[in-house]
Structure 1
Amino acid sequence: MNDDDADFVEFWCVQVGTRAVPGSPLLGLAGLCLGHTARRFGRLSDEALALAESLAARAEAEPTDVDGRAVDGYDDVRSFLHLW
C-alpha cells in the first residue's frame, strides 16, 4: 500500500481478492485494502468496486468465508467515493 501508483495498488488488491481461496484471511485483507485505496486515491475501477461489494456481501453471509475486514473496507469505499 505504500505506493503512489493508484493503478498498481488497486491491481494487487484485486489480484489477492480474486485469487485467494475461500476462508483465506487474504480475502478480508483485500477488501480492506480496496477501502484504503478508495480513501487514498478517491477512485476505484468498476471491477474493484464490484469486488469490494462482493467480498463484503460474502463476509456478511458467511464470516468463515471472508472476514469482517471486507465489510469495513466496503464501508470505506462507500464513504470515500460518496456512494451512500
Structure 2
Amino acid sequence: MSEFENKVFDIWNRFVRNLPCYPEEGCDRWCDGENILCKTNEDAQSVADYIDEKAGASVSATGFYDPEEDKRMGCVDKYTGWYYVTI
C-alpha cells in the first residue's frame, strides 16, 4: 500500500473509531466498516469534504439509499434512507 493510501485509511479510521456499527436510536451517523452513514445529505457532504481536505485530494464519494428504489427492488434494510460516504 502506498504512503498516500495509508494516510487516507488512517484519516478514515480515526474518523470512524467512535461511531456505532449499526443505526442506533438518536444517532445521526454510524459506520458499517465500509461506509459512513449519515442522516442528511448535508452531513454526508461535510464528512466527505473533511476527509478530502485531510487527505489533500478528492478520495471520497457520497450517495443515498433511496427508500422508493429500495422498496421497488425489494431490498429495504438498515441502509434505506441513509446517505453514505465511502473512499
Task: Give yes or no for TM over 0.5.
Answer: no
Structure number having the greater helix percentage: 1
TM value normalised by structure 2: 0.30
Q: Normalising by the residue count of structure 1, what TM-score does the alignment of the two structures yield?
A: 0.31
Kindly indicate whether structure 1 or structure 2 has the higher relative contact order, using CA contacts under 8 Å at least 6 residues apart.
1
Point out the structure with the larger strand share: 2
